[in-house]
Amino acid sequence: MALSRHYAGARITALGHPERWGLLALSLPLDEVWDSSEARWVHLFSDGDLPPPIRERLARFQLALIFGPHPKPSCKIACAWQASRRSTGYPLS
């Protein structure tokens, strides 16, 4: 709820398990939910560069909030988002 209040008017897209995001439907309005079990997302959790279609898909976002169960999460999603922001000329803050 605090997230949607702080970013009033923002469009929020979630990447994860759709059935779990559904639990937040009343408190966190989501425009889209992308299923992280789809093969296309495997590149976020492996070594190597992200393929252009994934970089392009992430390029439209202005902010990335990353939640994960790993004690030391990979910065791959955040790094991809930052790289896409730099390449389009958007500020990172």
pTM value > 0.95: no
Q: Are residues 24 and 63 in the same domain?
A: no
Task: Summarize pLDDT for 35-45 with one digit per residue, the tens.
Answer: 988 988 888 87
* Rounded Cα distance, 7 and 45, in Å: 28
Q: Are residues 32 and 15 in the same domain?
A: yes
Q: Are residues 56 and 81 in the same domain?
A: yes
Phi, then psi, of 35 in degrees rounded to 5: -80, 110
Q: Are residues 55 and 83 in the same domain?
A: yes
Domain that holds residue 2: 1-37
Q: Are residues 32 and 53 in the same domain?
A: no
Number of folded domains that form the chain: 2
> Please, what sign has the CA dihedral across residues 90, 13, 64, 45?
negative
Any idea of the CA torsion for 87, 42, 40, 74, to the nearest 10 degrees? -30
Residue 61, Cβ neighbours under 10 Å: how many? 15
> Please, what sign has the CA dihedral across residues 50, 93, 62, 29?
positive
Task: Summarize pLDDT for 17-61 with one digit per residue, the tens.
Answer: 888 887 877 788 888 889 988 988 888 877 788 889 988 888 888
Q: Are residues 50 and 87 in the same domain?
A: yes
Q: If pLDDT is split at 50, 70 and 90, which confidence band does 86 have?
A: low
Q: Are residues 57 and 88 in the same domain?
A: yes
Q: Are residues 21 and 6 in the same domain?
A: yes
